[in-house]
Amino acid sequence: MYGKIMKQIRKAKGYTQKEVYTGVLSKTFYSDFEAGKYSVEITKFQGLLKNLGISYEEFMYFKETPDEGKQLEEQIDALYKKGKFEELYKIYQQYQQHPQIELRYSAMQAYLLVLLTNPNFYQFSRAPFQEILADLENAKMWTLKEIKLSKLVLLSLTESDKKRADELFQRILRELEKYHSFDTKIYYEEVGDLFFNRLQSLLIINDIPQAEAVVIQYQELVKPSDNLLLMIQLQFITYLVDLYSNFPEAQAQLQLFLEQLTAIPTSETHFYQIIFQIHQEKARNYYQRYIAKSNPDKE
């Protein structure tokens, strides 16, 4: 889709392909890029914007024009929120081989959402998951689309894939670093989402030491952001991990924190309540089994 918009702007400004793409993309690549078959990484995208003489904000203005890709993303989001897994899987089947990369990625997203939330769906197979994972690992260049897909893949990896999950997490971090100087808003939003997903996957397999290390790493990364929502998320995940190592105290702290959050009108507040309910009993059992028994004073 970005390539098609680039072509639209290029023609409107009267530029040739040579004027816009020379020094940034090869001649054999940019025609396919404009046809919507491929994406480009952020550093090359910056070069194209410079050659076009427009800002990122101007480009995004053109991008907001309704198109099939955006409509499909909105449809996937609506179906996911309604739990329409059969419809999501049909979207995957319909678009998985589409010639436009944007629509193929939307198909992968639909598949991964079914895998994450309803893996027992009667038509479901994990074979496409392995194909998606292999495609991501073999891709030499990642754009934001691959990063977003990789975060869903990270949540879908099992305990037996721990090493693979570690490697995928580190690659996502490296790929995101390219956005730090380009658009800090995108960077911190994606980093916040990545670390939240990473933490959930570690808590699911009871890897508490690694989860604690992830919280510390996240704290260092978001400290310069001065973003209130990220600070709230940091405090929440800190209490969440503490539930496993010091359940009685952390439960009280987290309940008070969530009560205070109800006064802040954000969409995350209800979501945090749900996450707390998911982990509360699991954390209690872990604490009683591994912490309290080995430390009688904590009983």
**Residue 29 predicted with pLDDT over 80:** yes
More confident residue, 265 or 139: 139
pLDDT tens sequence across 236-254: 999 999 999 999 999 999 9
At residue 233, φ and ψ (nearest 5 deg) are -60, -40
Task: Please tell me whether residue 142 adopts helix, strand or coil conformation.
Answer: coil
* Distance from C-alpha of 165 to C-alpha of 160, rounded to nearest angstrom: 9
Domain 2-63, what architecture? Orthogonal Bundle (1.10)
Q: Name the one residue in this structure whose structure tokens are 């400004």.
A: 13
Assess contact for 257 and 273: CB atoms under 8 A: no
More confident residue, 224 or 101: 224
**For the whole model, what pTM was predicted?**
0.74
**Residue 66 predicted with pLDDT over 70:** no
Tokens of 163: 């090493």
Q: Which of 28, 29, 36 is nearest to 2 (CA)?
A: 36
* Distance from C-alpha of 71 to C-alpha of 68, rounded to nearest angstrom: 5
The pLDDT value given to residue 37? 77
The pLDDT value given to residue 105? 86
pLDDT tens sequence across 136-153: 888 877 888 889 899 989
**Residue 199 predicted with pLDDT over 90:** yes
Residue 43's identity, in one-letter code, is: T
Over residues 201-208, mean pLDDT: 91
pLDDT tens sequence across 99-133: 777 788 889 999 998 888 776 665 667 888 888 88
